[in-house]
Chains A and B, each alone.
Chain A
């Protein structure tokens, strides 16, 4: 039982972690990060189920709220980048030397 949940969580987490590294569009990277956080939520709920401790579900609720705040801040920064450079390509964040 435990392994099934955990395998699902690991799969989602890996897909997200891989997506962040390969995607170049800022919005797509944000979505990949969401995937990673939701994988953690599954693991947190698994903890609740396994130990009969509702703290894990509570933690998941907090995580969902934090994720929303994170997206708000992230999108604000992406909008600022779009205004300045007319693109949402994540390569914009790399600096030349000096």
Chain B
């Protein structure tokens, strides 16, 4: 048993534990915690990249190159959120606990992407959920706590469905290992088990009809935490769905594929239509998350290797676009209504430019990552023999352009009023600017050279 396979995990865990002690010793030194976390995550990323080819099985965990690529995605998202948090929380009382829980969530996701054993998968899932509940509530402000209460109940409720589904699949398959499922008897139990699992996934990955909690939680939680919840855990959820549906439950593909196609179609429609009527940018982004979950589910609806490769590219693009958009919103504090953005381009041209770029990317307009991701995914859907489905998804994308492009329009085409926020300028917000620069460069890089990443993914699938 080669325990060195998990070196990045050890680094993340070690950083988290040392951080907790540091938080006791020097309670209010945000700079120290932040720098330490950034260094720890960068070291873990470096080790992950070095050991990309170092793979193998550890029994309950299986370290594959794909899992390592997912790890890098989680770590990139975490790194950007940590940088974002530094500026956002500067004026508020947030101690080392914030970074500790962030790192615990990261560790949980890394384990989740590798687990092939139901107990480990469930433990990692719960570690992830609990860390996220605490992160939402940590500020102890009224809106954040209300969001945390909703998030907690939805999370706990969905975990119960998840566990029941797992238990039923256990009874029908006879193995705790996802890769050793033996089917044949108890067809009814298997189907009910898959259905309960899909309900559990529905709450976590926000697809119809379990998506309605997202806007409230996004609206109430602190912006960096929302940026985290909207990106990395979604990628982890899809990594787990890949393990469960596309690996363990492949014998039942004929049963779950049509369900997933319907779920995907309804999810993108529901997310896009609801977003048209929203006036708060954070809530618009919540519905955008739902719509993107719909596009991502398409890959499972067609269930081909090519579609899963496109899914990986889409997840990466989605992470950078969404984190970037939230970094822009973090400048505005709690005032994120469209009225607050009116005519902002005259007061802060750089911020307006960056925000517009991210929303243009989310709308899927070339040459951004949003376009490349949608292009490859829809192309794979057509290749799998479902042109009508691809057309339907494309039309959904056209609808979504209306509410995405409303944000740049509001920024540029109005005069500033007294509602418009006055952004804090100067060096104080240099880290937020850095996050937006990194995100914008990656969004355009992935948009112009998507094949460099796709080549890597194609080698490991």
Cβ B216 vs Cβ A93 within 8 A: yes
**Is B119 within 8 A of A59, CB to CB?**
yes
A20 CA to B159 CA in the complex, in Å?
13
Q: Which residue of B lies closest to A40 (CB)?
A: B163
The distance in angstroms between the C-alpha atoms of A62 and B124, with both chains bound, is: 12
**With an 8 A cutoff between CB atoms, is B160 at the interface?**
yes
Residues on A with C-beta less than 8 A from B55 are: none
**A59 contacts B157, CB within 8 Å?**
no
Q: Is the CB of B163 within 8 A of A93?
A: no
Q: A47-B171, A81-B146, A98-B280 are in contact. Are A93 and B153 (CB under 8 A)?
A: yes
Cα–Cα distance between A90 and B157 once the two chains are bound (Å): 14
B123 interfacial contact with A, CB 8 Å = yes
Among residues of A, the one whose C-beta sits closest to the C-beta of B156 is: A33
**Please, how many angstroms separate the alpha-carbon atoms of A53 and B176 in the complex?**
9
Asked if B415 is an interface residue, CB under 8 A from chain A, the answer is no
A73-B130 in contact (CB<8A): yes
B181 within 8 A of A: no
Interface membership of chain A positions 52-70, coded 1 if the CB is closer than 8 angstroms to chain B and 0 otherwise = 0101101100110010011
Chain A residues near B119 (CB, 8 Å)? 55, 58-59, 62
Partner of B140, one of A16, A80, A90, A94: A80
Interface residues in A34-86 by Cβ distance below 8 A to B read 36-37, 39-40, 43-44, 46-47, 50-51, 53, 55-56, 58-59, 62-63, 66, 69-70, 73-74, 76-78, 80-81, 84-85
Instruction: Kindly state the separation between the CA atoms of A2 and B189 in the bound complex, as whole angstroms.
Output: 11
Q: Which residues from B are CB-within-8-Å of A51?
A: 171, 174
For B167, give its contact among A47, A85, A90, A94 (CB under 8 Å): A47
Cβ < 8 Å to B, chain A residues 4-27: 6, 9, 13, 16-17, 20, 26
Name the residue of chain B whose CB is nearest to the CB of A20: B157
Min distance, Cβ B317 to any Cβ of chain A, angstroms: 30
CB-defined contacts of B134 to chain A, threshold 8 Å: 73
What B residues does A77 contact at CB under 8 A? Answer: 133, 137, 145, 148-149, 152
Partner of B137, one of A29, A40, A76, A95: A76
| Beta-carbon nearest neighbor of B171 in chain A | A47
Number of A-B contacts (CB under 8 A): 126
Contact of A93 among B150, B161, B168, B337 (CB under 8 A): B150
Minimum C-beta distance from B174 to chain A (A): 5
Instruction: Collect the chain B residues with CB atoms within 8 Å of residue A13's CB.
Output: 160, 164
Q: Which residues in B have some Cβ–Cβ distance to A below 8 Å?
A: 118-119, 122-123, 126, 130, 133-134, 137, 140, 142-143, 145-150, 152-153, 156-157, 159-161, 163-164, 166-168, 170-171, 174, 176, 189, 215-216, 219-220, 279-280, 337
Query: 17 A-B residue contacts at CB 8 Å?
Result: A6-B189, A17-B157, A36-B161, A36-B164, A40-B160, A40-B167, A53-B176, A59-B122, A62-B123, A66-B126, A69-B126, A69-B130, A70-B130, A73-B133, A94-B150, A95-B216, A95-B219
Closest 7 CB pairs of A and B: A43-B167, A36-B160, A93-B150, A40-B163, A93-B149, A55-B176, A47-B170
A contact set with B: CB distance below 8 Å: 2, 6, 9, 13, 16-17, 20, 26, 29-30, 33, 36-37, 39-40, 43-44, 46-47, 50-51, 53, 55-56, 58-59, 62-63, 66, 69-70, 73-74, 76-78, 80-81, 84-85, 90, 92-95, 97-98
